[in-house]
Amino acid sequence: MKPREGNSNWLEINRGAIIENASHLLKLTGVRLMAVVKANGYGHGITEVVRVAVSAGATYCGVARVEEAFELRRAGIEAPILVLGYTPDEQLADAIGRNVALTVFHPEQIETLVAAASVAGRPALVHVKVDTGMSRLGAQPAIAYQLLGQLTKEPSVEVEGVFTHFARADETEDPTTALQERRFLDLLAEIEAAGLRPPLVHAANSAAALTRPSTHLDMVRIGIALYGLDPSTRVPLPEGFQPALAWKAHLTHVQQYPAGTGVSYGHVYQTHGQERIGVVPVGYGDGYRRVEGNAVLIHGQQVPVVGRVCMDQLMVQLDHVPQAKVGDEVVLLGHQGEEHIRAEEIAKRWETINYEVVCGLGARVPRVYVG
């Protein structure tokens, strides 16, 4: 598929892949699914991902920041939304007024929450976050128990959920997740005994959803797996999942150079003989890392990126694809013919994780939806 006129590189997001991935997850877990769409839907485009995920059966959306929730509400998304992170006091009333659920993790939040609910003219919908071992946002289990008790007494607060987050669920051999789960279930038993259990108890991220059925509880929070990407090298996706995103461009220039010609800034690459060099209008300004060892697909073959990646352009060596010409499709991420460059492969080259690869795709790269 070609992009809209004037776009030099673009992302193709396959709606059908997201639908299939969500369907697999719903069948696998048998519980409600929260589509985690923070960081612009992991780079896939937050609004469209939510529309597709909800149509596929997701019943909740998870965002990191309240601004993301507001963006979804402005787009007409009516599905339940939970802000998984911190919400500044000055934005509480707006969030409550737009029926956005908020994360509470400290008793000091109660007073401002109640005041904001009064301004908004409706009860604040909240989920209490428990720190069972992530050492990030969250109340220690004993404090979380007290917090739930205090919140349930407030007529202007509706406690909808309680949740925790696993630090090492993508390391299946590590005992930390089992320990965190035990702490959370112990707290849950106390909560239930006191009659404080909210409707939604959730803990599992993508890795836990795939490997620890005991953590599924009332709802799973699915981010990376929804987009068809492996939670980690130790937790690959099962058969049937497919990546939803491809990154494409066109060759904009092809030129043959003699031996000893320096290519790009610093001339760190010099031609070894007569070489055809192509230019691709993608650079680190779009989220393509300035590292050595990159490759792209042209005519179904991997060709090396040579020279330094620039802000807006990169150069490729075309000797193995002599038929390559200006206007030919270049695939930086995704399929072309029988070849495939996966986000996991790029992450290895960039010494990072696939999450960062897709979340780092620049806002100036248009998203084109297919399927």
Task: List alpha helices for 197-300, DSSP H.
Answer: 206-211
CATH for 28: 3.20.20.10
- Which residue has tokens 């990646």? 309
- With 90 as the cut, is the pLDDT of residue 4 above it? no
**How many domains does the chain fold into?**
2
Percent of the chain whose predicted confidence (pLDDT) is above 70: 98
* Residues 47 and 91 grouped into a single domain: yes
Look up the domain containing 25 and give its range: 15-227
Question: Does 9 score more than 80 pLDDT?
Answer: yes
d(CA 129, CA 138): 5
- Residues 196-231 have pLDDT tens digits of 999 999 999 999 999 999 999 999 999 999 999 999
Report whether pLDDT(63) > 60. yes
Closest CA to 337 of 346, 328, 326: 328
| DSSP per residue, 153-184 | T-TTEEEEEEEE--SSTT-TT-THHHHHHHHH
Across residues 54-62, what is the average pLDDT? Answer: 99
162 and 197: one domain?
A: yes
Q: What is the end-to-end Cα distance of the chain in Å, rounded?
A: 11
pTM value surpassing 0.75? yes
pLDDT at 232: 97
Report if residue 289 sits inside a domain: yes
Q: What is the pLDDT of residue 85?
A: 98
Does 47 map to a domain?
yes
Report the chain's mean pLDDT, rounded to a whole number: 97
Taking only Cα atoms into account, the Rg of the chain, rounded to an integer number of angstroms, comes to 24
State whether 51 and 187 are in the same domain: yes
> What tens digit of pLDDT does each residue of 146-192 get?
999 999 999 999 999 999 999 999 999 999 999 999 999 999 999 99
Active site (annotated) includes residue 27 = no
- d(CA 203, CA 295) in angstroms, rounded, equals 38
Residue 276: which CATH number?
Answer: 2.40.37.10
Whether 265 is catalytic is yes
Closest to 251 (Cα-Cα) out of 156, 327, 155, 180: 327
Catalytic residue among 38, 227, 248, 369: 38
Same-domain check for residues 106 and 157: yes
370 domain-assigned: no
Q: How confident is the model at residue 6 (pLDDT cuts 50, 70, 90)?
A: low
Torsion region of 228: left, alpha or beta (phi above 0 gives left; psi -120 to 50 gives alpha): left
Please check whether residue 53 is in contact with residue 226, taking contact to mean a CB–CB distance below 8 angstroms.
yes
- Both 107 and 249 in one domain: the answer is no
Q: Identify the active-site residue in 227, 265, 269, 369.
A: 265
| Distance in angstroms (rounded) separating the CA atoms of residues 132 and 139 | 8
- Does residue 340 carry a pLDDT above 70? yes
Q: Could you tell me which residues come within 8 angstroms of residue 23 by beta carbon, excluding any fewer than 6 positions away?
A: 56, 57
Question: Residue 362: what pLDDT?
Answer: 94
Q: How far from chain centre, in Å, is Cα 319?
A: 36
pLDDT band (50, 70, 90) for residue 135: very high
**Using 50, 70 and 90 to split pLDDT, how confident is the model at 2?**
low
Predicted local confidence at residue 3, as pLDDT: 52
